[in-house]
Amino acid sequence: MATAPAANDNTRPSRLGPFLRSPAFGLVLVALLAAAPAAAILLGQPFWLTMATRVAIFALAALSLAFILGQGGLVSFGHAAPFGIGAYAVLILADLGIADALVAFPVAFLAGALFSGVTGTVALRTRGVYFIMITLALAQMAFFTFTSLSAYGGDDGMTLWARSTVAGQKWLKNDLTFAYLAIGLLALFLVLGNRVLASRFGRVFRGLKENESRLAALGYDAYPVRLVAYALAGGVAAVAGALLANQTEFVSPAYMAWQRSGDLIVMVVLGGLGPLHGAIVGAAVVLVVEETLSHLTEHWKIIFGPLLILIVLLRGGLIARLLGGRRG
C-alpha cells in the first residue's frame, strides 16, 4: 500500500510555534528590549540608549496599527494622523503651561481616540481600497491643518522647551528614565491589547475579519465594534506620538505625513499579521536596518526595498519564519 509523501520541511511547524505566538513571548521581547538601555549605559554607548527608546516608541505605534490591521483586517493608511496629534497635544499643552505627563499623556490618548472615532464614523462605512484611500485622505487633511498652524511653527515645526514633568519632577529629563517609561508603556499596552483580544469584544472583532456575514447572522453589528477598536488604536498611537515629541523635544507636521503611515505598515507586515508582539520585531528590524544602511549609502532605500519584498513574498512576516510555517 502506497504511503503518503512526507511533509516538506519548509512547511512543518516549529515546536516553538505555540510559545512564539503566545503573549508570553511578547513579554520576553519587551524584557530583551528593557535590557538594552542598561547595557548601553554600562558599555558607554548612549546612541544605543536612544535607539532602544526609539524602537519602543515606534513599536508602540506599530502595535496599535497591528491591533486593527492584523486582528481586524483594517488597512489604515492614515495611522500617522493620531500619532502626530498625540505629539501636538504635548506641544500645545506645554505652550499653555501644562507640562505634566500625567495630564499630557491622557489628553494625547483622548485626542487621538477622538480623531480616530470621528473620522472612523465615515471611513468604516467603506471597505477594501476605498477604506485605504479615505483614511489616507483624512490623514492628509489633518497634516495640512497642522501645517497651517503658524502659532506652532507651521510646516517647520516647533521645539519643546523641555520634556514633560511627572508630578512637577523633571524625572524624564534623564534619558535612561525616559527609555524605561517608553518600554513600560509598550509593555502595558501590549498586555492590555492581548486582554482585549481575549475578551468577548476581541473575539467578535477578530471574527469580523474571518466571516462578517456569519457574525451578522448571530446578531452582532460590525460597525460599532470596528469603530471602538479603531478609536482605541488611534488613542494608543497618540501616546506613542507624545513619547516621540518628548524624546526629540520637537514636533512637526511630518509626524503625520503619509510616509510615516507607510513606515508603520511596513513594521507590522515585517513582524507578521498574527500576534501583536510581531510589531515589536518589525519596528526593531526596520529602525536598525535603516540606521545601518544609512551609514553605508544615502540611497539605502534601494537596498531596503528588495529586502522588504522578499519578506512579503515569504508570507507571514518574521514571526512566521521563526514558526517554520508559511502562515502568520
pLDDT tens track for 119-173: 999 999 998 899 999 999 999 999 999 999 888 988 888 999 889 999 889 999 9
pLDDT in tens, 87-123: 999 999 999 999 999 999 999 999 999 999 999 999 9
Residue in this structure with the C-alpha cell 493608511, named with its chain if needed? 77
Residues counted in the chain: 328
The confidence score (pLDDT) of residue 287 equals: 92
* Nearest C-alpha neighbor of 11 from the set 311, 312, 324: 324
The whole-number pLDDT of residue 11 equals 47
Position 302 confidence tier, pLDDT thresholds 50, 70, 90: confident
Our measurement of the distance from residue 94's CA atom to the centroid of its chain's CA atoms, rounded to an integer in Å, reads 25
pLDDT of 7 strictly over 50 = no
Position with higher pLDDT, 125 vs 326: 125
* pLDDT (0 to 100) of residue 303: 82
Global confidence as pTM? 0.89
Inform me whether the pLDDT recorded for 86 exceeds 50.
yes
Give the number of other CB atoms < 10 A from CB of residue 76. Answer: 31
pLDDT per residue as tens digits for the range 222-251: 899 999 999 999 999 999 999 999 999 999
pLDDT, position 273: 75
The average pLDDT across 33-52 equals 92
CA distance 221 to 227: 11
Q: Is the per-residue pLDDT at 209 higher than 60? A: yes
Whether the CB-CB separation of 122 and 294 falls below 8 Å is answered with no
Split at pLDDT 50, 70, 90, the class of 217 is confident
